[in-house]
A and B are shown apart, each in its own frame.
Chain A
Amino acid sequence: MAISDSDLQKLASLTRVRLSDDERQPVVDSLNSILSLIDELQQIDVEAIDAMAHVQGSHNPLRTRAPEPTAAYSQEQVFDNAPQQQDGHFLVPKVIE
C-alpha cells in the first residue's frame, strides 16, 4: 500500500496538523518509507492468535477506585498554564455550530 498526497491531506485534517503545499511531498516520501517497513507485517501468519488487548494480559486486571471524591483543583492550578482565560473559563476562538 502507499500513501498519496490526498491521503496525507486527509490524515493532516484528522490529526489537525497543517502542512504547507511544499512541505507535503517530503512527508509523503518519508511516510511511504515507514509504510514499507510496517507492511512487512503482512508476511506473518497471525491466524491462530487472539488480539492481546493489553501487554499485561491477565497479569493485571483492571482495578476500580472507590467512588469517594477528593478535592478539586484550585483555580490557580486549573488556569496556571492557560493560554487564554476569563472569568473561570478557558477561551477559544468562536465556535460556529
Chain B
Amino acid sequence: MSELIQQDIRGLQSLLQKGEVKPSELFAAFRAQAQAQESLNAFAAINEFDESEFDESAADNNGGDNNPLANIPIAHKSIFCSRRHVSHCGSNILKEFKSPFDSAVVERCTAAGMPVLGMTHMDEFAMGSSGEHSAFGATANPWNTAYVPGGSSSGSAAAVAARCVPIATATDTGGSIRQPAAFCGVSGIKPTYGRVSRWGMVAFASSFDQGGVIAKSAEDCALGLNAIAGFDERDSTSLQVADEDFTAALADSSDSPDSLKGVRVGIPQEFFQEGLDSEVGARVQEAIQQLQKMGAVLVEVSLPSFRFAIPAYYVLTCAEASSNLSRFDGVRYGARAEDAESLGDMFEQTRSQGFGQEVKRRIFIGAYVLSYGYYDAYYRRAMKVRQIISNDFARVFEQCDVLAGPTTPNPAFKLNAVDDEHDPVAMYQQDIYTVPVNLAGLPAMSIPCGLVRELPVGLQLIAPRMCEARLLSVAHQYQTTTDFHRQSPPSIKA
C-alpha cells in the first residue's frame, strides 16, 4: 500500500482504469494512512467509506482522460462549508457548525467524482502562519513533528506531505497555501483572485481570500485547479472567464533539455535581502540556476515598495476580518455563551469565549484602523499602497514572464518557538514574500526545491493575472528535471 499512496493522480487514475485497484480500496488505503498519522493532528474529521460518493461508472467507461479525478480522494480545509461535514474553521465558535449548503469548491469536487476523505485542521479563521492557532490543537510537520507545518492551511499541507490524501483544498489570504506547502515539501497553487468561487468559503479578508489546492506535484495541482476553478454567479468577485484546461500546457518535455527556452524569469532583488536564511537562499538560487539550465532567461527586477506590503496587508486584512467576523454573535448559529444576563452580555461572552487570542487581536486592529479619525491614516492609505504594489508588479511583468524567489524566509520553525502572544509581528514576518502577491491578486505557487537542516524549502513562482497555465507549466518543467517533489518525509518511507 505504501507504494499506492505515493502515486500521483495520473498514476492512481491509471490503476483505477485498469481495474488494479477499486475505488473503495484506494479510499481505504489513504484512510488507513490518515489514521496511522493521526498524531500529526492534520484532520479535523476522517470520513467512513461511503458508497454513494463513488462514481463506479467512471471506472467502467474508461473515461479517465475525461474525468481524471473520478474516485480520487480529497480532503477539504475546514474553512469550506459542507452539508455533510462540520466546517468549524479552526474555531470554538463554529465547533458544532454544520452548514445548510455546500461551498462552491466542495460542490465542484463532488461533481468531479472526488470522495471526501476528511476535513483538515487550520489556524483559526485562517489567521496564522504555523497551524498553532487552531482551537483544536496544533498540527505537526510530518518531516519533523517537533516543527510546525506552516499555516493557515496546516492540515491540508501536512496531510498531503504525509501521503494521507493525494490532494487537498486550501485557501490563501497572505500565503496560507504557499507557506505550509513550502514547510511540508509539497506543491501548492494560489490562483488569481476571482478564479475560484468564494461561495461557502468562510471569509477572513474577502478581497484577499482565494481557494486553491495543495498536492504532490504541479501537474496534480493543475488537475485540482481544473476541478475547482470557474465562474460562479453567487460570488460577485468571481471572474467571468471561460473554463480553461490547466493541464493543456503541461506537455511532457522531459527529453527536451531546454524546455523553458525563452522564458524570462524575473528575480526580485528584494526577495534576497536581509532576513532570508542563507541556506534557504542557497536552495532557491540552485532552483533558479536549474531554470536557467532549462533555457530560462534570468532578469533582475525590483519591487521598490516591497517593504510596505506587510503593513498594508495587516491594515486591510484586519479591517475586513473585523467586519467579516461580526456575524459570529451567537444569535443564529454557533456556540452561544450560556447564562448571559443581557443581550450585550451574551454578545460579549459569546465572542470572548468563541475566539482565540490571535483572532481577537486582529479584530481590535481592524476596528482601530477603520475607526473615526484613523481611517485616512491607515485604511485609505493602505488601499493606496495596495495600488502602488499592484503597479510595481505590473511594471515588473513588462520585463519578465514569471517571478521566482523564496516562498518563506526560513524553513519550518519549532512548535511554540514564536511567542506571538507578546510579539505577533515576528510571526507576521513569515509571510513577507507571499503577502505582496495577495495584495495584487496574482497567481502564485510554491514547489519543493530541496532541504535545509532536513526540512523542505519552497520555491515561489509568481505570474501575471490569469496566467496560471504559464505558472503551472514552468513548475511542471522544473519538476520533470528534479525530484524534490517526489521526496516524502522520512517517517513516511519507513
Instruction: Give the complex CA separation of A93 and B421 in angstroms.
Output: 33
Q: Is B10 in the interface zone, CB < 8 Å from A? A: no
A68–chain B nearest beta-carbon distance, Å: 13
Partner of A56, one of B331, B334, B441: B441
Instruction: Give the complex CA separation of A51 and B286 in angstroms.
Output: 40
Instruction: Give the complex CA separation of A80 and B96 in angstroms.
Output: 11
Instruction: Give the complex CA separation of A38 and B381 in angstroms.
Output: 11
Count A-B contacts at CB 8 Å: 178
Instruction: Give the complex CA separation of A80 and B98 in angstroms.
Output: 8
Q: Is A22 in the interface zone, CB < 8 Å from B? A: no
A19–chain B nearest beta-carbon distance, Å: 7
Instruction: List residues of chain A with CB within 8 A of the CB of B310.
Output: 37
A48–chain B nearest beta-carbon distance, Å: 9
Q: Are A38 and B311 in contact (CB under 8 A)?
A: yes
Known contacts A33-B425, A41-B312, A42-B377; is-contact A7 B368 (Cβ 8 Å):
yes
Q: Are B421 and A55 in contact (CB under 8 A)?
A: no
Known contacts A46-B381, A49-B387, A56-B441; is-contact A93 B343 (Cβ 8 Å):
yes
Per the 8 Å Cβ criterion, residues 36-92 of A in contact with B are 36-44, 46, 49-57, 59-60, 62-63, 65, 73, 77-78, 80-84, 90, 92
Instruction: Give the complex CA separation of A65 and B238 in angstroms.
Output: 14
Q: Identify the closest chain B residue to A62 (Cβ).
A: B236
Instruction: Give the complex CA separation of A44 and B380 in angstroms.
Output: 13
Instruction: List residues of chain A with CB within 8 A of the CB of B246.
Output: none
Known contacts A17-B364, A92-B346; is-contact A50 B387 (Cβ 8 Å):
yes
Q: Identify the closest chain B residue to A55 (Cβ).
A: B441
Instruction: List residues of chain A with CB within 8 A of the CB of B365.
Output: 31, 34-35, 38
Q: Identify the closest chain A residue to B441 (Cβ).
A: A55
Partner of A37, one of B96, B314, B364: B314
Known contacts A19-B352, A34-B314, A52-B390; is-contact A44 B385 (Cβ 8 Å):
yes
Instruction: List residues of chain A with CB within 8 A of the CB of B380.
Output: 51
Known contacts A7-B368, A34-B424, A41-B308; is-contact A93 B333 (Cβ 8 Å):
no
Q: Is the interface of B mostly helix, strand, loop or mixed?
A: helix
Known contacts A55-B193, A56-B193; is-contact A31 B361 (Cβ 8 Å):
yes
B253–chain A nearest beta-carbon distance, Å: 32
Instruction: Give the complex CA separation of A7 and B365 in angstroms.
Output: 11
Instruction: Give the complex CA separation of A12 and B193 in angstroms.
Output: 32
Partner of A52, one of B98, B351, B384: B384
Q: Identify the closest chain A residue to B368 (Cβ).
A: A11
Considering only CB atoms and an 8 Å cut-off, how many residues of chain B contact the other chain? 76
A23–chain B nearest beta-carbon distance, Å: 9
Known contacts A16-B351, A37-B310; is-contact A27 B364 (Cβ 8 Å):
yes
Kindly name the residue among A30, A49, A78 whose own CB sees the greatest number of chain B CB atoms within 10 A. Answer: A30
Q: Are A60 and B381 in contact (CB under 8 A)?
A: no
Q: Is B97 in the interface zone, CB < 8 Å from A? A: yes
Q: Are B308 and A44 in contact (CB under 8 A)?
A: yes
29 contacts between A and B (CB under 8 A): A11-B371, A15-B322, A16-B344, A17-B351, A17-B352, A17-B363, A26-B421, A27-B361, A30-B422, A31-B364, A34-B361, A34-B425, A34-B428, A37-B310, A37-B428, A38-B369, A40-B311, A41-B382, A44-B308, A53-B383, A55-B390, A55-B439, A65-B233, A73-B100, A81-B97, A81-B332, A83-B335, A90-B332, A93-B346
A-contacting residues of B (Cβ < 8 Å)? 96-98, 100, 193-194, 207-208, 233, 236-237, 239-240, 305, 307-308, 310-312, 314-315, 322, 326, 329-336, 340-349, 351-352, 355, 360-361, 363-365, 367-369, 371, 377-378, 380-388, 390, 420-425, 428, 439-441, 465
User: 5 tightest A-B contacts by CB?
Assistant: A81-B333, A83-B336, A46-B384, A18-B348, A77-B100
Not counting A27-B364, A78-B100, a sample of 19 additional A-B residue pairs whose C-beta atoms are within 8 angstroms of each other reads A16-B344, A16-B351, A27-B361, A33-B425, A34-B361, A34-B365, A37-B310, A44-B305, A59-B239, A80-B100, A81-B100, A81-B333, A82-B333, A84-B336, A92-B343, A93-B343, A94-B342, A95-B343, A96-B342
B-contacting residues of A (Cβ < 8 Å)? 1, 3, 7-8, 11-12, 14-19, 26-27, 29-31, 33-44, 46, 49-57, 59-60, 62-63, 65, 73, 77-78, 80-84, 90, 92-96
